[in-house]
Amino acid sequence: MSGLGGLNPSPGGMVLGLVQAPVPIVAEPPDVAAAVDRIAGTVIGTCRALPVPDLLVFPEYSLHGLDPATWLDDRLLCDVEGPEVAKLRGACAEARIWGCFSIMERNPGRAPFNTGIIVDDTGELRLHYRKLHPWVPAEPWHPGDLGIPVCDGPAGSRLGLIICHDGMLPEVAREAAYRGANVILRTAGYTYPIQQAWRFTNQANAFCNLAYTASVCLAGPDGAGIHSQGEAMVCDVDGTVLERGDGTPGRIVTAEVVPSRADEVRRGWGVENNIYQLGHRGYSAVEGGATDCPYTYMRDLAAGSYRLPWEDEVRHTDGTGAGLGTPADVRAAARPAGGDG
């Protein structure tokens, strides 16, 4: 099924290249420029490799690094219409390859967004996503406000993008699938303590949604002795791991997926057609299945009244324990020097 990691593509197959990018050390604007150049160089160089991917996926933080002391520095932030993204778009057009990239996006007057974009092989921006669920309390990003968009991709794919901690909440991958994604990308900067959870959530997100999942982390040391895990993974629609990387920085893990197979499974499966059956409970006994919402948490969340039975006992409810302070402190730190946001 994998065709030797994409060396022997199947009819209708899409070859993915998951880049276990090394952790960049970023402290000043020239460091951001150097990281952009490295990523663009990888995109252009990959068009001379075998197999040639249809889509290259770079991890979260591959442009901005993992040093929290720099995350709110306005000089290091990017804009989707800015020069850094323009260079990445140009690299995709030159190489005739789709690309998925991570930036920390300027958000005037508020904390920045942790953003992912997908660019097509002509350099056009096809998807713009802002991380819905920052990894609190450690991350200071503003929660995403664009929902979970999907876009058409190579070989009949419908691409969804989720970022790191998003993948730990099953509702996020489910939303991408509900909106039509048959290939769900997940980018991350996770370190080794999260490795086991990374593995089983990638597999569960595939099986529960009858989608391919393609996921990749940063790899290698961050300059302070902490290593990111790399471990690119591609999972089949039944959760089977098709390809798995390691911790090698810079390694590009390739794999083939066939988007039409996910489409056919969603149409043809009876037993375990989970995403259909969620909204058609017990259709063997009830015509069309029950279509009510029996889940209290869904109803409460939609009503703005989500509240856990142990809500008053939760100890971490802002970034103070992680050294970020209150939300007001984060907003103040995110303002440009000398400006009022």
Output the six-digit token pair for 216: 């990749």
Show pLDDT as tens, one digit a residue, over the chain (341 residues). 557 888 888 899 999 999 999 999 999 999 999 999 999 999 999 988 888 899 999 999 999 999 999 999 999 999 999 999 999 999 999 999 999 999 999 999 999 999 999 999 999 999 999 999 999 999 999 999 999 999 999 999 999 999 999 999 999 999 999 999 999 999 999 999 999 999 999 999 999 999 999 999 999 999 888 999 999 999 999 999 999 999 999 999 999 999 999 999 999 999 999 999 999 999 999 999 999 999 999 999 999 999 999 999 999 999 999 999 999 999 999 987 655 43
Amino acid at 43: V
Q: Minimal CA–CA distance to 27: which of 283, 223, 314, 291?
A: 223
pLDDT for residue 340: 44
* Active-site residue identified among 78, 92, 151, 164: 164
Contact (CB, 8 A) for 114 and 134: yes
Output the six-digit token pair for 62: 């591959």
pLDDT for residue 9: 85
Instruction: Report the chain's C-alpha Rg in angstroms.
Output: 20
Amino acid at 137: P
Active site residue 164: yes
CB atoms inside a 10 Å sphere around CB 45: 12
Phi and psi for 66 in degrees, rounded to 5? Answer: -115, 15
* Active-site residue identified among 60, 84, 175, 243: 60
Count Cβ atoms within 10 A of the Cβ of residue 328 and give its class: 0-12 exposed, 13-18 middle, 19 or more buried: exposed
Tokens 């150097």 correspond to what residue?
34
| Beta strand residue intervals within 53-188, DSSP E | 55-57, 98-105, 113-119, 125-130, 150-152, 158-163, 183-188
pLDDT for residue 2: 59
Count Cβ atoms within 10 A of the Cβ of residue 294 and give its class: 0-12 exposed, 13-18 middle, 19 or more buried: exposed
- To the question of domain 3-271 being in CATH 3.20.20.70, the answer is no
pLDDT for residue 338: 52
The DSSP bridge partners found for residue 253 are 18
Question: How many residues belong to the chain?
Answer: 341
Amino acid at 255: A
Active site residue 87: no
pLDDT for residue 337: 62
Calpha distance 139→190 (Å, rounded): 12
Question: What strands lie across the sheet with 125-130, from one edge to the other?
Answer: 125-130, 113-119, 98-105, 55-57, 14-19, 252-257
Tokens 């929290």 correspond to what residue?
68
Count Cβ atoms within 10 A of the Cβ of residue 263 and give its class: 0-12 exposed, 13-18 middle, 19 or more buried: middle
pLDDT for residue 1: 52
pLDDT for residue 4: 82
Sequence-distant (6+) residues with CB within 8 A of 323 are: 68
Active site residue 78: no
| pTM confidence score | 0.96
Phi and psi for 216 in degrees, rounded to 5? Answer: -155, 140
Contact (CB, 8 A) for 149 and 124: no
CA angle, residues 110, 113, 118, in degrees to nearest 5: 150
Amino acid at 56: L
* Active-site residue identified among 100, 131, 175, 235: 131
pLDDT for residue 51: 84
pLDDT for residue 306: 98
Cβ contacts of 28-34, under 8 Å, gap ≥ 24: 28/75, 28/76, 29/75, 29/76, 31/65, 31/76, 32/63, 32/64, 32/76, 32/78, 32/84, 33/84
The DSSP bridge partners found for residue 16 are 55, 255
